[in-house]
Amino acid sequence: MLQARLFDTLLIAKGPSLVNTFTLASPYIILANYVQLDWAESFGVKMYIVSGSVGREDTDVLIKVFARMLKVADG
């Protein structure tokens, strides 16, 4: 599944943001509606939406991390 591969390619910490100083990513629909996935998707919330919070890492490093993920997405 492309979504899982992209998420795995994103080399940052995974989990919900709880006012951290480091960058985190999490699959939005899983956190918000895990027991109601079909219901959430019926409103247009797609499984592949990734929620992120940017931390205090070096900007160039973060750009490279996200660019790598986008390169995988582009094929």
What are the structure tokens assigned to 66, written together?
Answer: 């996200």
Domain that includes residue 37, residue range = 2-74
- The count of structural domains within the chain is 1
Instruction: State the average pLDDT for the chain.
Output: 84
Q: What is the CATH number of the domain that holds 8?
A: 3.90.1150.10
The pLDDT score that the predictor gives to residue 58 is 95
pTM equals 0.68
Q: 2 pLDDT band (50/70/90 cuts)?
A: low
- For 26, residues 6+ apart whose C-beta sits below 8 A from its C-beta are 14, 15, 16, 17, 50, 51, 52
